[in-house]
Amino acid sequence: MISLIGHVLVHRILSSMAREFAFSQQLVRTLSILNLVVICFFTANMPTAPSLWLFIGILLITLKFFPRILRFFLMKRMRSALIPLLDAVILGLQTGKSFRSSLYAAIENQSGWMRHQLMELYQSLAMSENVIAMKSALLQDFRDEILEIDRSQSRCIDQVKALRRELKMHEDFRRRSGQVSQQLKMQAIIVTALYVALLFFVIMQFGFKEHQKLILMSSLIFLGGLIWIFSMGRRLKWKV
């Protein structure tokens, strides 16, 4: 009975995720079978009902937060995909197609969740439903720019190229900022490893109790230094 309830609850969450992220039918079937196998396996191996409830609870909580994590990574992919999308739109305009036809053809070449999100954007554009809010600030801003280009009906190709240059500039800026942040993280990891190694050496050679205050004070100073480094890094990377 417990396993049946768990299977139904997990299946509902997976179905909701499939609708939101436009999973393929094959992936949905695979996840459903995997859900059934996992539930049956743990039902057979869990010694008590509370243990099974605990496992199902952990599984449900994990699946509840998983869409947020997946959405975060998908939005990073979406940000990078907008520039090639505009390249396809520009190519369509250069061949004599209208702006909407070029945009629709470019979106049709996408797949999965990205195509689903961009198709919603196109439908709101085609039906002039300007009051509908997109599900992310990135797509909302992009839709606003696309609406302006669609309304102007003049020099569309120049406006699309200008939008592409703006997105490319932002993408390059984020990449350089990310490189600065990554360098700071690597330096912090190396320094932390050296400090921990030195700390263990001091404790093994001279003892902890005899130098407890000194060790704790050095740890606090080191922790404060790490916080200061990351704080300065956040300010620095936006100036790159």
Q: What is the pLDDT of residue 135?
A: 65
CA dist list (Å): 208 to 95, 214, 215: 76, 9, 8
Report whether 70 contacts 161 (CB < 8 A): no
Instruction: Mark which of 74, 94, 112 sits at the end of a domain.
Output: 74
According to DSSP, residue 155 is labeled: S
Instruction: Mark which of 165, 197, 225 sits at the end of a domain.
Output: 165
Band of pLDDT at residue 91, cut at 50, 70 and 90: very high
Instruction: Mark which of 29, 59, 74 sits at the end of a domain.
Output: 74
- Is 70 exceeded by the pLDDT of residue 26? yes
| Statement: the pTM of the whole predicted model exceeds 0.85 | no
* Nearest alpha carbon to residue 138 among 111, 118, 110: 118
Instruction: State whether 83 and 136 are in the same domain.
Output: yes
Mean pLDDT rounded to a whole number for the chain: 78
Instruction: State whether 197 and 230 are in the same domain.
Output: yes
Which tens digit of pLDDT belongs to each residue from 173-225?
777 766 666 777 777 788 888 888 888 887 777 777 777 788 788 888 888 88
Domain total in the chain: 3
Half-sphere exposure of 57 (CA within 13 A, CB side): 6
Instruction: State whether 55 and 95 are in the same domain.
Output: no
Instruction: State whether 85 and 155 are in the same domain.
Output: yes
Element (H, E) at 211: none
Q: What is the pLDDT of residue 1?
A: 62
Max Cα distance, the chain (Å) = 82
Which residue did the predictor score with more confidence, 237 or 63? 63
CA dist list (Å): 240 to 101, 233, 235: 38, 11, 10
Instruction: State whether 160 and 189 are in the same domain.
Output: no
Give residue 16's domain range.
2-74
Instruction: State whether 68 and 101 are in the same domain.
Output: no
What is the C-alpha to C-alpha distance for residues 14 and 48, in angstroms, rounded to an integer?
A: 26
Instruction: State whether 89 and 128 are in the same domain.
Output: yes
Q: What is the pLDDT of residue 86?
A: 92
